[in-house]
Structure 1
């Protein structure tokens, strides 16, 4: 009826704003109902007091079009209670400092968006991490296989992101992904009531890739290096001249170096020692370049939730996510 009246050419102009207001109001009610259906607990506020922080539902609504409260992939059944997560791929992703504190687990849907752009969550506000080259998300064949194993593991993980599954679920994963694990290794993993991801990952590093594992005898220790940019819209002090302090939003270029996921920690330690040795000799006149020391900030912890064991460097003030 509303549409019919708007289409009539003789409708007085004064009625049109009222009709549009009624239309928008109706859509608002429908939209609100849809948002409530997405949420686990509609009684919780979407904007929290006293500082007006947006809830995770609002962030997810903007990123994926659904006001779900969690950041893991798909839905999770916890004792008959359905916990709703991210069910689709997204164009802009999400990383959070809270994952580095083991307070949550961000799924692959949010970690690997279509474009290399991520909203960064902290305990105060949101900032942006982005790259100019989409290849920062490229994975090797082994890394892609590991990602599929982790996805299968997360699909069986009913602990709310705790990182463990049942021995029966492990058997199903090995069958589905055609992983031929030695029986003694399998018995060791299934010796308790739960299978932890880190233990499974370490075991798969000993299984050759021809048998579905992650061991690649031909792999060469080589780091991926790329640049990302971090933008914090909150004004920060950038320069001081006498009594005058300049403040403005800060854009920081961050250089990232990522070793292959399957590289043993001992190999990284030996490589670091070798670089330190070369750097010392270089300072004595050999001309060798001293490698840049790794720098740390809370943003680095966020980056490592996406690229494990990444080291970062930047010029000037450290990037701030607060």
Structure 2
């Protein structure tokens, strides 16, 4: 177990280029120059002081909540000691860094049963990636404050951040040091001991840079497809999908579908396994993207959810929301790969591919027989419910509970009642038929309906905002 320290200016320059692109806009750098600050009103909730860094803060909050709900009830969250909350934060940062060490695998479309959810790597299992090196970006000493660069602090999160000059981000990057840790134990010990550095100004950037350094810039570029795009949008300051996926899954793919998809002759890699926390987006309701089965069905009832411009977190204590590992759920997942438009049917010619992925019989005579069963009117399509009913008995199929309680986190104080961060609590009811969305709730419902169609939510304290 060793620890080393270097200046690392060359590596930081590469990271800077990957994060910001060729030029850093001072106002965007200022918006991202905050730490992991906890709210005084909701002790386990992180504050986002400006637009942009939710691409890092929301995933960190999701992992933090994932660990909290396994040990505490909702009524206990405001009673957790601050030192204990800090330990949960350090554990979340450690877990996310460890994810970046996962070996690449793109075998899920081969039809091998070893790639089914039953045999997939469980995100709650003991870490397989307990070796370093983990490369961490650090500031050994506070940067000198001046009239142009003071920023906000954990004690004064609402203090406006002055507009910095080019001198400010040059000063930050020239003072970053790199440290290597060879084990998870030494890494987490460092994060716990130096957590104040990550709670202070620049803490979010230090963690983001540590994720990229641990992953490796070359690997990052390969996973992003060498598109030449920066992780942070140069005009608006929002994190791209590659950054969001990196924080949620440990891979910097820019796509939200399952596995590998052929697009114009290019094999584009999406999400390769069930993550610990999931992802839902309102853009799916608007038909801009289709989120795959993996991101919709994480191994914990926690989802990062996206509006057009912001990220927040949905979570629940209802363990029945976690889809079980079973053959029928595997079949639903494979069916969804070929239902590219999300219309709950596939072309009949795809039946053989689906059965092959499920390691079922694909003899020509069997395929012909099943087509007569599944498409008796010779319409050329196979309906989702007909496929499941034909191959599986009703008691094999998983269905979420009819009612369950959810909670919502939004880190922007301006998006919360009285500018105080609070967890919103709501009761979800799943209906048998379409439910009309009230204007005040439509934004939220249309996003969640991509996961649970025909739902209604009654909020007990206030109606939350996705923005």
TM-score when scaled to structure 2?
0.47
- Residue deviations 1:35-72, cap 9 Å, x none? 10001342122211322100000011111111001111
Alignment partner, residue 124 of structure 1: 309
* Residues 1:235 and 2:413 aligned together: yes
* Residues 1:147 and 2:368 aligned together: no
Mapped to 2, the partners of 1:90 and 1:103 lie a distance apart of: 22
Residue 31 of structure 1, CA deviation: 1.1
Residue 155 of structure 1, CA deviation: 3.7
Mapped to 2, the partners of 1:313 and 1:46 lie a distance apart of: 37
Paired residue total: 258
Residue 74 of structure 1, CA deviation: 0.5
Residue correspondence of structure 1 range 53-72 to structure 2 within 5 A: 53-72=238-257
Bigger drift between 107-116 and 165-174 goes to 165-174
Alignment partner, residue 203 of structure 1: 386
Residue correspondence of structure 1 range 1-322 to structure 2 within 5 A: 19=6, 21=8, 28=213, 31-138=216-323, 147-156=329-338, 165-173=346-354, 176=359, 181=370, 183=372, 185-188=374-377, 191-192=379-380, 195=381, 200-204=383-387, 207=389, 211-213=390-392, 224-236=402-414, 246-259=418-431, 265=433, 296-322=441-467
- Residue deviations 1:100-129, cap 9 Å, x none? 122211112111111111111111111010
Mapped to 2, the partners of 1:173 and 1:30 lie a distance apart of: 34
SS at match of 2:295: helix
Mapped to 1, the partners of 2:374 and 2:393 lie a distance apart of: 14
User: Is the 2:256–2:295 contact (alpha carbons within 8 Å) kept by the matching residues of 1?
Assistant: yes
More strand by share: 1
Mapped to 2, the partners of 1:223 and 1:115 lie a distance apart of: 15
Mapped to 1, the partners of 2:341 and 2:270 lie a distance apart of: 10
Mapped to 2, the partners of 1:237 and 1:118 lie a distance apart of: 19
Mapped to 1, the partners of 2:402 and 2:229 lie a distance apart of: 43
User: Is the 2:408–2:464 contact (alpha carbons within 8 Å) kept by the matching residues of 1?
Assistant: yes
Mapped to 2, the partners of 1:30 and 1:94 lie a distance apart of: 21
User: Is the 1:236–1:250 contact (alpha carbons within 8 Å) kept by the matching residues of 2?
Assistant: no
Mapped to 1, the partners of 2:403 and 2:383 lie a distance apart of: 28
Mapped to 2, the partners of 1:201 and 1:163 lie a distance apart of: 5
RMSD: 4.0
Q: Which runs of 5+ in 2 are unaligned?
A: 15-134, 136-212
Mapped to 1, the partners of 2:304 and 2:261 lie a distance apart of: 24
Residue 130 of structure 1, CA deviation: 0.6
User: Is the 1:76–1:82 contact (alpha carbons within 8 Å) kept by the matching residues of 2?
Assistant: yes
TM-score when scaled to structure 1?
0.66
Judging changes above 3 Å, is the alpha-carbon distance between structure 1 residues 183 and 164 closer, same or farther for their aligned structure 2 residues? closer
Q: Which runs of 5+ in 1 are unaligned?
A: 8-15, 240-245, 270-292
